[in-house]
Amino acid sequence: MKIYTWEEGMKAKQGIATLSIVCVFIFGVLALWGLRTGWIEVFVGSLMFAGGIAVLAVNRLDTFRAFGPAFIVDAKQNVLGYYPEGGYVRKRELKEGGGKIIPHKLGPIDEKRQLRAVVDGKIMTVCVRARVFCHAKKHQLYFDKFLRSVRGAAPTPNEIVGNLLAVFLRQNESALPGMYDTQGQDSCLVMELLVGDLLAGYLLDELASSALQLDGVGCKVDVETSSIS
């Protein structure tokens, strides 16, 4: 499934619209000429062609679905990507792939490192505290281990969370230096996830009981007071 940026989507739509307008104009002129000359066959034929092209153009333009900031997930709930600027996707490709657009806007990453992500219902706040003594680039390794640990404890629900974390980390590497305090101070990444009723309590229990080791350094996963409403 191809995701078009706003620029790509607009260019594609403008191309269809421009070609359609030119064709409708040409057949419109032919229709008028046929009407003025009394050539009814040309008039009717041109009018039909112009109308057909106009309908076809509207249908073609409607194949593009515009979306704002959103996560795109496939049929298995794997996050294909986060598109903060939004874009366009072809409706047919989205439907055939069983994909889903989960509208959401990540707010600015403040001093608390907050990320609000939509999955589907309730709000869960997870705070990952870790005392890490390593190069900042190792954050991917650390979270890979964290995600594998979580995935091993539960099936699909945690994979959703894991994918959201992975996408966030991949697309925000430069925004996470505060996660890795070389002085050994605790740092925190706060994520607010919207999850279902049953899923919320389950994930809180699983994440709260998770304990990790990274290169011999103890990493504690601490779930803060959850705001489930």
**pTM for this model (two decimals):** 0.38
CA separation for the pair 119, 99 (Å, rounded): 14
Give 20-51 pLDDT, tens digit per residue. 788 888 878 888 888 777 777 777 887 787 78
In a 3-state reduction of DSSP, which class is residue 1? coil
Give 155-175 pLDDT, tens digit per residue. 334 444 444 444 444 444 444
pLDDT at residue 100 in the model = 76
Contacts of 28 (CB under 8 A, 6+ apart): 46, 50
CB 50 within 8 A of CB 31: yes
Task: Give the alpha-carbon dihedral of 58, 64, 67, 72, to 10 degrees.
Answer: 160
Q: How would residue 98 be classed by pLDDT, with cut points 50, 70 and 90?
A: confident
CA separation for the pair 212, 206 (Å, rounded): 13
CA separation for the pair 163, 182 (Å, rounded): 27
User: Of the segments 41-45, 73-77, 221-225, which one has the largest average pLDDT value?
Assistant: 41-45
CB 139 within 8 A of CB 169: yes
CA separation for the pair 18, 22 (Å, rounded): 6
Give 129-155 pLDDT, tens digit per residue. 322 222 233 333 344 444 444 333 333
> CA 16: distance to chain centroid?
26
pLDDT at residue 2 in the model = 77
Residue 39, classified by CB atoms within 10 Å of its CB into exposed (0-12), middle (13-18) or buried (19+), is middle
Q: How would residue 76 be classed by pLDDT, with cut points 50, 70 and 90?
A: low
Does the pLDDT at position 89 exceed 80?
yes
pLDDT at residue 113 in the model = 33
Lowest pLDDT segment from 11-25, 82-96, 190-204: 190-204
pLDDT at residue 63 in the model = 73
Contacts of 117 (CB under 8 A, 6+ apart): 71, 104, 106, 164, 168, 191, 192, 193, 194
Bigger pLDDT: 203 or 154? 203
> CA 44: distance to chain centroid?
48
CB 99 within 8 A of CB 75: yes
pLDDT at residue 148 in the model = 40
pLDDT at residue 167 in the model = 47
In a 3-state reduction of DSSP, which class is residue 65? strand
Average pLDDT of every residue of the chain:
55
With pLDDT > 70 as the criterion, what percentage of the chain qualifies?
A: 38
